[in-house]
Amino acid sequence: MRSAQRPLGLILALIALALHLATSWRYGYFRDELYFIACAHHLAWGYVDQPPLVAVAAYLSAPFGFALPALRLLPAVGAAATVWLACRIARELGGGVSAELLSGLTVMLLPAYLLLGNTLTTTSLEPLSWTLVIYLTMRIIRTGEMRLWPAAGAAVAFGLYGKYSMALLVAALLIGLLLTRQRRVLFTWWLPLSVALTLALVLPNLLWQLRHDWPMLTVLHGDVLNRHAFNNGLELEYKGLLRNAAAFAVLQTVFTHPVFTAVWVSGLCATLFGRSLARYRAVAVAWLVLFALAVALEAKGYYVIGIYAALLAMGAVAIERAWRARPLLLRAAPVAAALVALPALPLSLPVLPVDTLIAYSAALHLTGTGGTPPRLIQPLFAEEFGWDELARHVAQVYDALPPEVRARTALFADTYGDAGALAFYGPKYGLPPVISGQNNYWLWGTRGYDGESVIAVGAMQTDILKASFREVRLIATYGNPYKWVVEGPAPIYLCSHPRAPLSALWPRFKWYGA
């Protein structure tokens, strides 16, 4: 049944939207969000480490003072739209109410999608853009409406403006189509028109990257070289192809929930080996290609997360057809899916106060074992605390300087997260504009500081500081217990007597990476 009158997908989408809007304010700004706010003050067609969509999303929240609910509105809408699209895919495949309900609930409650819909990141809109491209591809396969190719091209451009990993999906889908009988949909003049449209839409961003010597490639390379474990010993990515491939495979289950994995694997297998979904085999092949590409590129585990909404919808349809003779079991499946997701919900969505979350994690034996104190172990949540306090501590160091020194003191942070925090919270404490050597902050330059006096925050570039200044004194340290899993106390240095003007030293501080 493909009736346009069934409102179930819209209802589930609205529930997803309400869920995110009700919780988006609970903790604080994520590290990257503070950086995106800084980028919103420097709108451009591109940035060193990302396309411009996240900066535009942050800019749209400026009239509301960058308040968290406004900043995260677009990710919340994206999460809701992804739920709706998953239901549309289930109907596109001929699924009934049970399939639509199962696909909508699993996509809504998928751990990775809960996190992404509640935080503004470059990946936040990836599930939406990937699912939209796959949905349009499926429509083209089923209906033969080649005029949908330009719409798919526009969706690809939208995805590329959010994150460049959309290129992986495009490559995987093209290979999937070429390797299956559905290759016929590629032989139409609408496809080159679609490609031309995509290129025209993304050309401004490509030109920006070209003019700046493709810095995104340097960022990706640096990311592979500088991976490390969290302070609790958990390591999500590794240096080395084989170890990272094993971690990547395991994380597909972690990010999509072990029980929900059974749903999307069912869809994958039914499409690869069954008959009823055979016409969409290109999508299943695309997952295999994506997995291979991600392993070869030593990608992080979440780099292919956008494909799972479509696979869950395919799995829901496959399960509905397999269990058609067991109506009670079929009706119970969506309820069971929702119930099994509830225990993990606080780890993906800020439904609990942070101290209650720590206690809950301890009750699950995820922290506080072996005589160690219970701590906040969700890395993304940990990155949402302590930023205002950091600015306040730096302000205490700044205010303690003699007035004549304070007037010419620069404020330097070695990471874009600390820099974004000091830029956002610093003005209310009277701090001067901040500079940094990481990513786009390096392009924004020294802001006219001469370097005679510099307050430097962070330990990542201590060796460069000591090589650039004759005097580097540790003045204070700052740490927040909620941030323990991601970082220890941050040193705050006072640097003076530069070996050259700061403008001449600035190339030393260039750091393109995550």
- Tell the burial category of 374 from Cβ atoms under 10 Å away from its Cβ (0-12, 13-18, 19+): middle
Say if residues 29 and 424 touch (Cβ distance below 8 Å): yes
Range 2-8, long-range pairs (CB < 8 A, 24+ positions): 2/91, 2/92, 2/94, 3/91, 6/91, 6/97, 6/100, 8/87, 8/97, 8/100, 8/101, 8/104
> Which residue has tokens 């969700």?
378
> Tens of pLDDT along 60-82?
999 999 999 999 999 999 999 99
Give the torsion sign (CA, 453, 458, 459, 464): negative
> Tens of pLDDT along 253-297?
999 999 999 999 999 999 999 999 999 999 999 999 999 999 898
Last residue of a domain, one of 308, 343, 378: 343
Upper half-sphere CA count for residue 462 (Cβ side, 13 Å): 9
- Whether residues 171 and 40 share a domain: the answer is yes
Q: Average pLDDT, stretch 313-324?
A: 95
- Whether residues 324 and 421 share a domain: the answer is no
- Whether residues 17 and 125 share a domain: the answer is yes
- Whether residues 156 and 51 share a domain: the answer is yes
- The reply to whether 88 falls in a domain is yes
- The reply to whether 86 falls in a domain is yes
- Whether residues 103 and 171 share a domain: the answer is yes
- Whether residues 276 and 219 share a domain: the answer is yes
Name which of 482, 451, 445 is nearest 465 in CA terms.
451
- Which residues touch 275 (CB under 8 Å, ≥6 apart)? none
> Which residue has tokens 């290609």?
289
Range 253-257, long-range pairs (CB < 8 A, 24+ positions): 254/111, 254/301, 255/110, 255/111, 255/112, 255/301, 255/302, 255/305, 256/110, 256/111, 256/112, 256/305, 256/308, 257/109, 257/110, 257/111, 257/340, 257/341, 257/344
- Whether residues 391 and 327 share a domain: the answer is no
- Whether residues 339 and 393 share a domain: the answer is no
- Whether residues 295 and 409 share a domain: the answer is no
Say if residues 315 and 265 touch (Cβ distance below 8 Å): yes
Local structure of residue 144 (DSSP, 8 states): -
- The reply to whether 352 falls in a domain is no
pLDDT, residue 301, reads 84
CA distance 95 to 317: 5
Say if residue 1's pLDDT is above 50: no
Last residue of a domain, one of 343, 372, 400: 343
pLDDT, residue 3, reads 46
- Whether residues 422 and 331 share a domain: the answer is no
> Tens of pLDDT along 407-431?
999 999 999 999 999 999 999 999 9
Q: How confident is the model at residue 95 (pLDDT cuts 50, 70, 90)?
A: very high
> Tens of pLDDT along 497-508?
999 999 999 999
More confident residue, 330 or 157: 157
Q: 142: domain range?
A: 8-343
- The reply to whether 380 falls in a domain is no
- The reply to whether 229 falls in a domain is yes
- Whether residues 328 and 470 share a domain: the answer is no
Residue 433, φ and ψ in degrees, nearest 5 = -60, 145
The three-state secondary structure class of 27 is coil
Local structure of residue 184 (DSSP, 8 states): G
High-pLDDT (> 90) share of the chain, %? 87
pLDDT, residue 228, reads 66
Q: Into how many domains does the chain fold?
A: 2
- Whether residues 401 and 300 share a domain: the answer is no
Local structure of residue 489 (DSSP, 8 states): P
pLDDT, residue 247, reads 86
Say if residue 2's pLDDT is above 60: no
> Tens of pLDDT along 140-152?
999 999 999 999 9
Local structure of residue 125 (DSSP, 8 states): T
Last residue of a domain, one of 343, 358, 374: 343
pLDDT, residue 4, reads 52
High-pLDDT (> 70) share of the chain, %? 96
pLDDT, residue 231, reads 67
pLDDT, residue 233, reads 61
> Tens of pLDDT along 445-465?
999 999 999 999 998 899 999
